Amino acid sequence: MSSSEDDMIATAEMIQKGANSARADDMKGMKAAIINWFTPKGQTLNPHIPCNAKSSRGFHHEHTGALLSI
């Protein structure tokens, strides 16, 4: 490979790495915001959705499971 091809590949890899990082940051921020979108104002979900336990999210939670199956 020529130097310009190596530079192009390195640049493409850096762009892809940046895009992947931005996507991960966006999803991290959305996870917290989503709970606020469907929780009635001034109330909490019952049962509570813990931030660090994936096993009780999504279809495994009574309220979020009902919303996902609409």
Note the pLDDT tens digit of each residue in 51-63. Answer: 777 788 889 888 8
Asked whether residue 67 falls in the same domain as residue 47, the answer is: yes
Structure token pair of residue 33? 């915001």
Domain span at residue 31 reads 1-38
Question: What's at 9, amino acid-wise?
Answer: I
Judged by DSSP in three states, 18 sits in helix
Whether the upstream peptide bond of residue 47 has omega within 30° of 0, thus cis, is yes
CA distance linking residue 54 with residue 2, whole number of Å: 47
Same domain, 26 and 58: no
Residue 46 and residue 29 in one domain: no
pLDDT tens per residue across span 12-50 = 999 998 888 877 767 777 777 777 787 878 888 888 887
**Sequence-distant contacts of 54-59: CB under 8 A, at least 24 apart:** none
The reported pLDDT for the residue numbered 14 is 92
